[in-house]
Structure 1
């Protein structure tokens, strides 16, 4: 007979490990950088991080919280009593914040595979400059003649970052009646929301509601496969896209070296893309062969080493017109080559999600400030806020190719 075990509340803390008396450690709690919720503590953040007393108190708070999530009623009562002190509230804020950051960091992130990560100083528009020229082959110089001058062509791309966020409100009754289990899902939900925001934002730069961004991907930019049966994802169309990407030239007419590329497809093309990239052989006609006769070449699948596959589930959500959300696919040059197709930027000092908690607007009759978990004066509502700051722009169209796939 098999005994079924109910899921542990600690599953929500899987990314940080299990915090019990035998395994909890400072290394686990301090994994990643937290953002304190208390302004009183935030100003002393650097000094506090190395304070032995603070680290000891935080570890003890983590032990207590772990026992609460395991269903220890006595620990729950102790926890509720401890929450009435401002110091413990600050410690719990750090625990919750580190959980969110851990969840955010553990979520799959795909856009860095084909976009450059940038950092900006403020909310004003930033510019990214490019320079082309002076890289063509050198011309011969005759005796006693001037060296030929080279011309330079500059370009500029601009964008600015903006705020994204969400509030989560729970009632004081919810916290009491639910034995504080409501806390356990908040880090997962907010961490997931922050990472998903990044992925959708990046997708909406190069894909529109009607398919590939028509300003960026066009015949004029020589980075769009023509519509028709030949644009559907296949070994033939992928070779055509790769050839188109490798055929781009700079301002001097010199080739742009593309050592590797990233294939981005919607979930509907995952099987097709994997079949292509994981095939062991490619059979191709040579010398004008018909493809069915004896004039054939059988080669190792070189694409599996040159292409990285990214399956983007946001493509059919962003591209909603017709069926192109399930048929369009994209090829990006590795952003490390110096000509990124896109840049996603973050505000310096605020490059990860930040969690905030509403300060109480009440004081106890007997004196002393109320804890944030006591809720606001009018409704006993307990609220958290998550803030994420990011922006981005498309850059060099010579570093990407799109296909409508139909």
Structure 2
């Protein structure tokens, strides 16, 4: 089966979807051959992959991408510190030391949807709804990734922040300060004072400020201004903005899936992705990292013998079934450089 055949099958479907009556007639005839749905399915899969890659995910701005080999819980290990280098006197054996380490668990899960294309839909001129199916499914896959990643910041019921992660024992218990210049500066100063297991100061990584849409312009005004004006009595003083460029603002609408009353006011300070101590990971299965679209050929056989054309539909419900699958998972893992406030 050549790429040319796949492309021709998809182009035929595309022309039929655009209202080309001749293409519709050709497609009805093509559906009676056993290879057309397979050709069309491969064409969709190519289009789906292209559309999927064209959508830039928000989650990639604050979560570290990783791959796994299976659905089992995965272990993410980090070397958290060592005792440092010691003076080695002449002709003296080097002192031994061990790395301290910790580990976090996460796993990928399988998601999908089945869609049915029927002969009646073709005859009744209802193909227009399927013209951009690859774009719809690609966006659905990206939405799934975004939802899974944002959900790692929330509890299982999306009724509050993830208090198994944001808690006093992790040094990042939820605060109740509104997003202001002063509160953001205080949060940055807080995470800048973190130490490793041996008590040595850690170098603060680049930070991202993750906010819901309701806080977008507040966040951008705080870190985007080059100057700030402060009134002291009757005197107004202008100075450079110390927070200009201090963090990268990320606006994630998925945070509004939370049902808690202060969801629109809640803001997160996280390390940028791919740093040494990532707060979040978003996992994909190796070799299955993009959405997969397939068709099912299960029309059965006639009682009197002889095969039944695929265009007659499934044995179960007279449809030509297409199925999309996407494997993804996300988890909050390292709380070191994290901060959250529910607002006031």
Q: TM-score scaled to structure 1, two decimals?
A: 0.76
2: CA distance between counterparts of 1:188 and 1:258? 39
**Bigger RCO (CA 8 Å, 6+ sep):** 2
SS in structure 2 at match of 1:167: strand
Map 1:123-272 → 2, pairs under 5 A: 123-134=71-82, 136=84, 138-140=85-87, 149-208=96-155, 209-224=158-173, 226-227=175-176, 231-272=177-218
CA shift, 1:102, in A, is 2.6
- Alignment of 1:97 with 2:45, yes or no, is yes
* 8 Å contact from structure 2 (residues 292, 326) kept in 1: yes
2: CA distance between counterparts of 1:158 and 1:226? 26
Residue equivalent to 2:268:
330
2: CA distance between counterparts of 1:83 and 1:99? 20
2: CA distance between counterparts of 1:82 and 1:61? 9
Q: Bigger shift: 173-182 or 360-369?
A: 360-369
- Alignment of 1:314 with 2:263, yes or no, is no
Number of aligned residue pairs: give it. 341
* 8 Å contact from structure 1 (residues 362, 370) kept in 2: no
Residue equivalent to 1:387:
325
**Structure 2, gaps ≥5 residues long:** none
Residue equivalent to 1:341:
279
CA shift, 1:237, in A, is 0.9
2: CA distance between counterparts of 1:239 and 1:222? 17
* 8 Å contact from structure 2 (residues 24, 122) kept in 1: no
CA shift, 1:175, in A, is 2.7
* 8 Å contact from structure 1 (residues 360, 370) kept in 2: no
Q: CA RMSD, aligned part only?
A: 2.6
2: CA distance between counterparts of 1:142 and 1:339? 34
2: CA distance between counterparts of 1:210 and 1:313? 16
| Distance change in 2, residues 1:64/1:172 (3 Å) | closer
Map 1:29-68 → 2, pairs under 5 A: 54-68=2-16
* 8 Å contact from structure 1 (residues 332, 399) kept in 2: yes
1: CA distance between counterparts of 2:83 and 2:325? 44
Q: Residue deviations 1:35-66, cap 9 Å, x none?
A: xxxxxxxxxxxxx6xxxxx1322333343233
Q: TM-score scaled to structure 2, two decimals?
A: 0.89
| Distance change in 2, residues 1:178/1:291 (3 Å) | farther
* 8 Å contact from structure 1 (residues 135, 254) kept in 2: no
Q: Residue deviations 1:277-336, cap 9 Å, x none?
A: 22221346xxxxx8546695601x35443322211111121x212x22111100111122
